[in-house]
Amino acid sequence: MESSKNGRESNEEISEKDENILSFLDSMDTYLTLMDSLSSTLRQGWLELASARHSMGASRINSTLLDLKFHRASTTLQVNEQSAGPDRELPHFTLRKWASSNNPEKNFEEAKFGEDELLKIKSNSLRRRDTSQSSEIQARSPESVGTPVSVDDLAQRERSKSLSMFGTLVSPKLRASQVSFETGTVATLFI
């Protein structure tokens, strides 16, 4: 009786381990798929950047033009803890795109006013060294707090600000490249 009970328990342990291994392999498959997706997005971005450089001239798009004056990043991350078990916590990233970088206090108010504008994409971190977690991705649609038009204008203003380091009139390819790299930034968070 006892040996059959022990046998049943070991079978349960084995099936639980098999499930963990399958889940782990699924995570690895997801990781490779996302890396492939990131590669193609970045490739598109590089191609568009090269096209923009070809049309605008190499002197108008290079690293010497990068803005070295004080400025805050428009795209930042919010990092929180998320419980993944009794003794374990994982970092939880939230991407905040195109927040105003000029005035932090105003930024905070606008973030409250226009928190709906910032598309928040939440994912679990995959970069824990045990790589045993799968990622869940949620995209939360914005809550309407303020007028959508002014909030979109804010994002467009920040986009234009980023483009302005390469001049006032820029190639549409450069704008397309900006969109590709924005998508790439989101993809890195998914990974």
How far is residue 38's CA from residue 191's CA, in Å, rounded to a whole number? 9
Find tokens 């798929």 and name the residue: 33
Q: Which of 7, 22, 23, 32 binds other proteins (CB under 8 A)?
A: 32
Q: Which of 14, 28, 137, 139 binds other proteins (CB under 8 A)?
A: 28
Half-sphere exposure of 58 (CA within 13 A, CB side): 0
| Residue 164 binds other proteins (CB under 8 A) | no
| Residue 133 binds other proteins (CB under 8 A) | no
Residues 168-187 binding other proteins (CB under 8 A) are: 174, 177-178, 180-182, 184-185
How far is residue 4's CA from residue 186's CA, in Å, rounded to a whole number? 52
Q: Which of 38, 118, 151, 154 binds other proteins (CB under 8 A)?
A: 38
User: H/E element holding 92?
Assistant: strand 88-96
| Residue 152 binds other proteins (CB under 8 A) | no
Nearer to other proteins, 8 or 128 (CB): 128
| Residue 115 binds other proteins (CB under 8 A) | no
| Residue 35 binds other proteins (CB under 8 A) | yes
How far is residue 176's CA from residue 41's CA, in Å, rounded to a whole number? 11
Find tokens 């939440």 and name the residue: 122
Between the CA of residue 176 and those of 14, 44, 48, 58, 89, what are the distances in Å?
51, 9, 7, 17, 38
Mark the segment that binds other proteins (CB under 8 A) among 70-78, 113-121, 134-142, 144-152. Answer: 70-78
Residue 68, φ and ψ in degrees, nearest 5: -105, 10
Q: Which residues bind other proteins (CB under 8 A)?
A: 28, 31-32, 35-36, 38-39, 42, 45-46, 49-50, 61-63, 66-81, 87-91, 93, 96-99, 125-129, 131, 158-159, 162-163, 165, 174, 177-178, 180-182, 184-185, 188-189, 191
